[in-house]
Amino acid sequence: MREIVLINITGVDRPGLTAAITGVLAQGGVNILDIGQAVIHDTLSFGILVEIPDSEQGKSVLKDILFKGYELDQQVRFTPVSEEDYQQWVGNQGKKRHIVTLLTRKVTAGQLQAVSSITAKYGLNIDHIDRLSGRMPLDTPADKGKGCIEFSVRGEAADPQALRAEFLSVAQALNVDIAFQEDSLFRRNRRLAVFDMDSTLIEAEVIDELAKAAGVGEQVSEITERAMAGELDFRASFKERLALLKGLDVSVLDSIGASLRLTEGAETLFAELKRLGYKTAILSGGFTYFAKQLQAKLGIDYVFANELEVVDGKCTGVAIEPIVDAQRKADLLKELAHKEGLRLEQTIAVGDGANDLPMLAIAGLGVAFRAKPLVKQSAKQAISTLGLDGVLYLLGFRDRDGQL
């Protein structure tokens, strides 16, 4: 009678170990039903689920594995599995899978406990846990660390909306980000990424900087803050702010452009997206003049932003239509996806303001980046703890995959 056995092997990792173990199994005419291997700090954890035939070859295979493990200084454990349990396991393979991604400056046991407790509470079973971030020296400054742990979970969440709300609450309490995505084919096949500019790609709201030069900084900043938080209609507030810039000399654009700083992780993100074959775009309620500068610096494919009307070297206080507002951003995302022959599920959108929500909602991966509470709660995913390159982790990208 055939046997089904789970073989667990642990010990110090060494070259050739897998070949040696499977070589013994091959001599026994064993079928491999499942296999998994992980190495943590040079310590191996190797599991193989095998079907041992009822034959002369198969009778001694477990004894031979035990001897081989002793030779290789490995601990070996055997766990019999009934055919009923195996068939139940096979039946579970059709269940939905999701990816839970924990992003933080420094990974702690408390963070992992919180994530794993919530997944269990809502009926999700953890299949795999992987570290996507690179190894960090112990003395890494608190604001320079990068930690990312990815959980592959199986099952249907008992209440997906409540699950997301609980993840968001815990993320705020622990100062981490927790993303929850369906593990679908589209997650691994995205090809277009679009970005807001102000307070997303750059660490400033350009219209506020222009207002400071025009002597109306505080007045405009207050309107901007309320517009980005969703308290004011973007189009109306944009026109109101622009009107306050009437008469501003366009010569100040050069000095403001030179002073703008890229957001943490922007250069890494765009370099990797380009290497991976993505098309990229800026969809901004800001201004084309500055967006073009970023396009040249980061190698961005498309730019859609607002054009300041200028007469005799002075701003007139109006923008040339059409204005890139919330709906226009969503429409542009659809147009670009169609142009590139992509489904919306294959797109990524990143932004921080309420005017970004429509495009974040329709993108396959919508990320609220260092956003206001309303935007953070409304978006599918949010990143507040890491830089823009944290978006790569949501795609399953590992630091060791990079070439920078």
Task: Determine the Cα–Cα distance for residues 388 and 351; give it in Å rounded to an integer.
Answer: 10
**What's the distance, Cα to Cα, between the start and end of the chain in Å?**
55
Whether 196 is catalytic: yes
Q: Nearest-5° angle of CA 289, CA 290, CA 295?
A: 100
CB 301 within 8 A of CB 236: no
Among the listed residues 13, 177, 198, 208, the single catalytic one is: 198
Determine which one of 13, 177, 196, 399 is catalytic: 196
* 187 vs 182: CA distance, rounded Å: 8
Is there a contact between 390 and 147 (Cβ–Cβ < 8 Å)? no
C-alpha 282/C-alpha 302 separation (Å) is 6
| 139 given a catalytic annotation | no
Q: Which residues contact 54 (CB under 8 A, 6 or more apart)?
A: 1, 2, 3
The answer to whether 374 and 134 are in contact (CB under 8 A) is no
- Tokens 């031979």 found at: 64
Residues catalogued as catalytic = 196, 198
